Each structure stands twice: as C-alpha cells, then as structure tokens.
Amino acid sequence: MSAHLTQEQDQWEDGVRVLWAPWRMRYIEAEKPSGCIFCPATDETALRSALILEVTPHSHVMLNKYPYNNGHLLIAPRRHTAVLADLPEGEFIDLMALLRRAVAVLETALHPQGINVGLNLGTCAGAGVTDHLHWHVVPRWTGDTNFMPVVSAVRVLPQHLLESYDRLRPYFTPSPDPVGKGSTQR
Ligand SMILES: [Zn+2]
C-alpha cells in the first residue's frame, strides 16, 4: 500500500496527471468483489457500510467508492440487467425519479456549479461494471479537476466518503433511520 501512496503522491506533484483522479488507481488495481456491487444487501444495517443513501422499490442510490469528485453518486435499478430495454416501465420510472431526486439533492446539499449525468453501456463506452446498468451523477465545480486531488488526499478518502455519506443521507430520507454511527444520528 505504501508503494501505491508514494506512486500516487508523485502523480499529484508532477502537475499533469492530477487532471484525472489518481485515487482511482485503487479501483483499477484492486481485486474486484466476486458479487455484483449493484446487487447489494439493502437491509438497514448494511446501508452505511455500502454507502447506500436510499433504496426505493426498484432502485437505489449510492456514493461511488472511487469517486471522480466529491459527491459522485451511482444510481442503479435493483434488477440485475445490462439491457436498458429489460426494465419494465414501472421500474424505469422509479429509476428516473430517483435520478432526478439525486440531482436535486446534490444541488441543494453541495451547491455544485454543474453536474455530469451519464450512462456508460459496454466496456468500450467506459463502463467499469458492464452487467448491471448504473448512472453516474458527478457534481462539478470550476477548476475541480485541479482542486480535488489537492484537498482529497488518498489517505483520508475513506473518512471523506463517510462524511459525504452522512451529509447527503438526510436529504434522501425524510425521517433518517438509525443506521450506522454517523454524527447525524441521534
Ligand atoms: Zn447486479
């Protein structure tokens, strides 16, 4: 791990490669979990550790563990499919409603200057997980590609993610459930 940190530190300091999120090397190099990350357990006790912010009847929204930016959300249907046309009308509407709400939450909670919303279908289109549909919602600030690597040190990123989780979670749950041990809980 220390070798990774040293390597990543070097990437920040050369002033060029920081233009992409260097902490994503951990995702690229990490062993991928055997199960589908978009078919997680959705019981209340598992939500915070899985960074799941809300579960609806047919969809869920989670923070990306390997974000391109602070507040990078992933919205997926609960049905395990890579084919958009496989989603019945009701499930698609549920998913789009959650996507719309996720954008609104980011605007309210983080006040980004812009937001990227994207769906990558297939490896050559950039999908990291190819067999389960998921939308990326990435808040953007002017100059963030330079700014974020400086303020989001690799070593503090896991805590940073939970802080982001605790900050966003109340917006997704009008009556927050007692999950996790975050500061927002009673
Ligand atoms: Zn899946």
Cα–Cα distance, 10 to 131 (Å, whole number): 34
Q: For residue 75, how far is its CA from the centre of ligand 1 (angstroms)?
A: 12
| Tens of pLDDT, residue by residue, the chain (186 residues) | 344 444 444 444 444 333 345 556 666 566 666 689 899 887 888 888 899 999 999 999 999 988 888 899 999 999 999 999 999 999 999 999 999 999 999 999 999 999 999 998 888 888 888 999 999 998 888 877 654 444 444 433 555 788 899 999 999 965 434 333 333 333
pLDDT of 96: 97
- SS3 (DSSP) at 52: strand
pLDDT digits (tens, 9 = 90+) for 45-75: 888 889 999 999 999 999 998 888 889 999 9
Q: Is residue 183 part of a domain?
A: no
Q: Is residue 31 part of a domain?
A: yes
Q: For residue 112, how far is its CA from the centre of ligand 1 (angstroms)?
A: 30
Q: For residue 132, how far is its CA from the centre of ligand 1 (angstroms)?
A: 5
Provide the domain count of the chain: 1
- Indicate which residues carry an active-site annotation: 134
Q: Give residue for tokens 């330079």.
A: 146
Cα–Cα nearest to 68, from 125, 10, 121, 28:
28
Give the amino acid at 100.
Answer: R
Q: For residue 133, how far is its CA from the centre of ligand 1 (angstroms)?
A: 8
Cβ proximity of 51 and 63 under 8 Å: yes
pLDDT of 22: 56
Give me the domain span that covers residue 84. 12-171
- Provide the residues around ligand 1 (an ion) whose CB is within 5 A: 36, 38-39, 80, 132
Q: Is residue 3 part of a domain?
A: no
pLDDT of 70: 85
pLDDT of 177: 42
Can you give the pTM of this predicted structure? 0.72
Q: Is residue 1 part of a domain?
A: no
Cα–Cα nearest to 169, from 51, 81, 18, 40:
51
Q: For residue 116, how far is its CA from the centre of ligand 1 (angstroms)?
A: 23
Cα–Cα distance, 20 to 183 (Å, whole number): 31
CATH number of the domain within which 119 lies? 3.30.428.10
Q: Is residue 157 part of a domain?
A: yes
Cα–Cα nearest to 79, from 70, 89, 69:
89
Q: Is residue 2 part of a domain?
A: no
Q: Is residue 7 part of a domain?
A: no
Contacts of 52 (CB under 8 A, 6+ apart): 40, 42, 46, 60, 61, 62
